């Protein structure tokens, strides 16, 4: 009888301990779907065509000011066009032919690129391609002389493929990563013109 009483007492004590442990640890354990949803909202990321894009918060005064001055501005469309320009300009610069992208470049940027191409000892022999679509983030927005300036941070990985030296050899591929700030500018008064690239700066990866 005494043994039964001891077992009952131990069972009650164990039950009390388990209940206390559940109250402390069991209320939120592991990954939950709602946690992911909340995390995505807090990070400010939006999934677009399979790629996460980080935008300035919608409450950012500069973004609100830009939308007030330019009612047609849409940050998602802008980033798509900025990424397209980035890819086309980088490939055109590598090939040494800026004719197809000249209208997207500001005068000083175009001249700087053209001078760099002229200074090359010989045309590039390798072919450049992007490993995947570059990541584009709106980094800053500024206003000057009735124009809007949007700085975009690009992160990209590029593949430089050199043809094989001899028949039967494999082509040599060199991979490089780049991090840059590109500033686009457009007048927000009068007829809306295209966004042009006015500045290129190195950025931290």
Q: How far apart are CA 62 and CA 188, in angstroms?
A: 14
pLDDT of residue 97: 95
- The model's confidence at residue 163, banded by pLDDT at 50, 70 and 90, is confident
Instruction: Write the pLDDT tens digit of every residue in 104-162.
Output: 999 999 999 999 999 999 988 899 999 999 999 999 999 988 899 999 999 999 999 99
Range in 33-37, 55-59, 71-75, 76-80 with the lowest mean pLDDT: 33-37
pTM above 0.85? no
Whether the pLDDT of residue 48 is over 60: the answer is no
CATH number attached to the domain at 56-202: 3.10.450.240
- The model's confidence at residue 24, banded by pLDDT at 50, 70 and 90, is very low
Domain locations along the chain: 56-202
């Amino acid at each position: 009888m005494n043994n039964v009483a001891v077992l009952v007492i131990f069972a009650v004590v164990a039950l009390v301990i388990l209940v206390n442990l559940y109250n402390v640890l069991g209320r939120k354990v592991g990954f939950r779907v709602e946690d992911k949803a909340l995390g995505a909202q807090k990070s400010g990321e939006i999934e677009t065509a399979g790629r996460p894009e980080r935008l300035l918060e919608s409450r950012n005064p500069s973004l609100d000011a830009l939308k007030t001055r330019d009612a047609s501005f849409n940050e998602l469309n802008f980033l798509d066009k900025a990424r397209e320009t980035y890819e086309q300009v980088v490939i055109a610069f590598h090939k040494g032919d800026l004719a197809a992208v000249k209208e997207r470049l500001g005068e000083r940027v175009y001249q700087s690129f053209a001078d760099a191409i002229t200074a090359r000892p010989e045309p590039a022999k390798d072919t450049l391609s992007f490993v995947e679509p570059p990541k584009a983030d709106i980094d800053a927005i500024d206003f000057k002389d009735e124009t809007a300036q949007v700085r975009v941070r690009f992160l990209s990985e590029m593949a430089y493929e050199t043809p094989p030296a001899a028949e039967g050899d494999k082509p040599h591929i060199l991979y490089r990563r780049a991090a840059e700030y590109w500033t686009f500018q457009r007048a927000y008064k009068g007829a809306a013109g295209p966004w042009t690239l006015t500045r290129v700066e190195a950025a931290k990866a």
